[in-house]
């Protein structure tokens, strides 16, 4: 279950696009805003946004750290695939999607429905 599992989940959400950024990062976007970032190759690693109140608890888990450059916005970096069960992966990926989507202007969401 490397990035293909993550990709499958992320692309199942409405209006999601994927893009390669910085030459080697696979980014999943809603309304041009990232909600998940993972590597194309190499070691496993995924960055996602979490709820403010979950940030401390999650970064206390083995294999999860504050995401470099994004921690102040309550993003985590998961470097151990076993830090979450499959059910948790689906939950936290969808939650990240919803958190980012909720901050988008209505105009950006209407564009996605066309």
According to the model, what pLDDT value does residue 1 have? Answer: 44
The per-residue pLDDT for range 72-112, each reduced to its tens digit, is: 999 999 998 889 999 999 999 999 999 999 999 877 666 55
According to the model, what pLDDT value does residue 110 have? Answer: 66
φ, ψ (nearest 5 deg) of residue 94: -65, -40
> Distances in Å between the alpha carbon of 103 and those of 29, 32, 34?
13, 12, 12
According to the model, what pLDDT value does residue 5 have? Answer: 87
Please state which of the four CATH numbers 2.40.160.60, 3.40.50.150, 3.40.640.10, 3.90.1150.30 is assigned to the domain occupying 3-113: 3.90.1150.30
What's the rounded mean pLDDT across residues 64-75? 93
Residue 17: is its pLDDT beyond 60?
yes
Answer yes or no: pTM beyond 0.85: yes
Please give the distance of CA 81 from its chain centroid, rounded to a whole number. Answer: 14
| Domain residue limits, the chain | 3-113
């Amino acid at each position: 279950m490397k990035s293909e599992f993550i990709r499958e989940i992320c692309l199942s959400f409405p209006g999601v696009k994927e893009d390669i950024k910085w030459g080697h990062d696979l980014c999943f976007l809603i309304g041009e805003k990232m909600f998940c970032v993972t590597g194309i190759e190499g070691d496993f690693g995924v960055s996602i946004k979490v709820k403010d109140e979950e940030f401390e608890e999650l970064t206390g888990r083995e294999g999860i750290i504050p995401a470099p450059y994004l921690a102040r916005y309550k993003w985590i970096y998961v470097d151990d695939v076993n830090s979450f069960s499959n059910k948790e992966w689906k939950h936290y990926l969808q939650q990240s999607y919803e958190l980012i989507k909720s901050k988008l202007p209505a105009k950006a969401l209407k564009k996605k429905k066309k």
